[in-house]
Amino acid sequence: MSALTVTDLTVDYHQRGGGRLRAVDGLSFELEPGQTLALVGESGSGKSTVVRTLSRFVKPSSGRIALGGDAAQDAARRGRRAERRAYHKTLQLVFQDPFASLNPMHTVAHHLRRPLLLHGDHRRGAQLEAAVLDLLRSVNLTPAQDVARKHPHELSGGQRQRVAIARALATNPKVLLADEPVSMLDVSIRLEILGLLDRLKRDRDLALLYVTHDLATARHFSSQIMVMYRGEVVERGPSDRVILYPAHPYTQMLAAAAPDPARTRAQSAEARAQRIARRDGHGAERRESALDGGCRFRSRCPFAMDVCATRPPDLPTAEAGHVARCWLLEPRPTGASGAAS
Ligand code: SF4
């Protein structure tokens, strides 16, 4: 049974002065226990809205979010309050900013006791304190007694993010949303934190949604990648296939711009040129108001054709389990011109 099923999720934001902005458009996916799915995209792609919606900070306009497991379904039958409680116990979030996610007034132990008391079956006293120390050891924060007494300002950024991960584990969740969990940390400790998340996922059979703009770590730490652009998934498939053989022009652009030690100087120059084209493309997008009828990427796409301006492409299979939303990969509608526009 899947740990998390999202079906046709749509989120609209109302804009000042009227009008709506569709931040997420028809998102569907399933996340299995023990699986890491990376959700990749630039800022403005809609990935943060997906995280906020799954965390219930934002209400979806339509669609369905369902957690698997008997506990979630039993709670749903017991009423709204029980369902809400079970949802937040089952699905936990690791925030991007470890500096803002912990209250500077409280000790590490205080931050961990609260979710244990709210959602765990620990009584107060020695049993609770033992659970706090176990959580700290599980994220390699030792000696646990010393760390438990500290305040956030006494910890490094990496240690704070470990505390935030320990806090997320306190409810014994089945699904973990990691929203850019290392983007605010020193490069030297990013791999350690991602390695920790990977180990915890395996040890606890967690379903992990890893939200990032970084294709390199997405490939390394996930089995599947979904690439989002302006609210919709444009490519999805096994991580190696998506990174090594990207089918959508947008993914190709992201892959070309991603740091790669093996890349030659000439390829780096090409990537730089593509980054500039991408930046210019953002400007073109802002100027272009009538994108709704066709492919949303067309103002930045070097392969755009006439059909791309008039009809949105679907998600046809590029190969088994690998899909991309692009007219280059599917038969064009009868009468559509393939000439470059
Ligand atoms: Fe480019 Fe057209 Fe494919 Fe969109 S559908 S990515 S504009 S070729």
Within-domain flag for 309: yes
Residue 308's pLDDT band (cuts 50, 70, 90)? very high
Residues 158 and 206 in one domain: yes
Of 97-106, 161-170, 275-284, which range is least confident? 275-284
115 CA from centroid of ligand 1 (Å): 47
Within-domain flag for 26: yes
Write out pLDDT tens, residues 270-282.
455 455 445 444 4
Residues 35 and 146 in one domain: yes
CB 298 within 8 A of CB 309: yes
Within-domain flag for 333: no
Q: For residue 269, what are its two tokens?
A: 């120059």
Residues 137 and 161 in one domain: yes
Query: Over the Cα atoms of the chain, what is R_g?
Result: 22
pTM of the model: 0.85
What single letter denotes the amino acid at residue 140?
A: N
Residues 236 and 264 in one domain: no
Q: Give the other-Cβ count within 10 Å of 126's Cβ.
A: 8
Within-domain flag for 105: yes
250 CA from centroid of ligand 1 (Å): 9
Write out pLDDT tens, residues 8-32.
999 999 887 778 889 999 999 999 9
**Beta carbon of 326 within 6 Å of any ligand 1 atom:** yes
Residues 87 and 195 in one domain: yes
Within-domain flag for 335: no
CATH number (domain holding residue 66): 3.40.50.300
- The pLDDT, as a whole number, for residue 45 is 92
Pairwise CA distance, residues 154 & 158, whole Å: 12
Q: Which of 199, 217, 242 is where one domain is finished?
A: 242
Residues 236 and 274 in one domain: no
Within-domain flag for 339: no
**Beta carbon of 298 within 6 Å of any ligand 1 atom:** yes
For the cut 70, the answer to whether the pLDDT of residue 130 exceeds it is yes
Residues 221 and 288 in one domain: no
- The pLDDT, as a whole number, for residue 269 is 46
Residue of 327, 330, 332 with the most ligand 1 atoms within 8 Å of its CB, for mutation: 327
- The pLDDT, as a whole number, for residue 204 is 95
Q: Which of 242, 276, 296 is where one domain is finished?
A: 242
Within-domain flag for 332: no
**Beta carbon of 27 within 6 Å of any ligand 1 atom:** no
Residues 228 and 311 in one domain: no
Q: For residue 288, what are its two tokens?
A: 């272009």
Residue 81: alpha-carbon gap to chain centroid: 27
Residue 26: alpha-carbon gap to chain centroid: 16
- The pLDDT, as a whole number, for residue 266 is 45
Residues 125 and 53 in one domain: yes
Pairwise CA distance, residues 228 & 235, whole Å: 7
Within-domain flag for 27: yes
Residues 181 and 93 in one domain: yes
Write out pLDDT tens, residues 197-247.
999 999 999 999 999 998 989 998 999 999 999 999 999 999 999 999 999
Residues 200 and 312 in one domain: no
Pairwise CA distance, residues 120 & 93, whole Å: 17
Chain position carrying tokens 């949105």: 312
Q: Which of 242, 260, 289 is where one domain is finished?
A: 242
CB 171 within 8 A of CB 115: yes
Helices (H), the chain: 47-54, 70-77, 80-90, 108-119, 126-138, 144-149, 157-169, 187-204, 215-221, 239-244, 249-257, 265-287, 306-310
**Beta carbon of 303 within 6 Å of any ligand 1 atom:** yes
Residues 107 and 232 in one domain: yes
Q: Whose CA is nearest to atom 3 of ligand 1?
A: 326
Q: Which atom, in ligand 1's list, is nearest to the CA of 313?
A: 5
327 forms bridges with which residues in the sheet? none
Which residue, 27, 25, 22, 24, is CA-closest to 5? 27
**Structural domain of 290:** 248-326
User: How many domains are contained in the chain?
Assistant: 2
Q: Whose CA is nearest to atom 6 of ligand 1?
A: 326
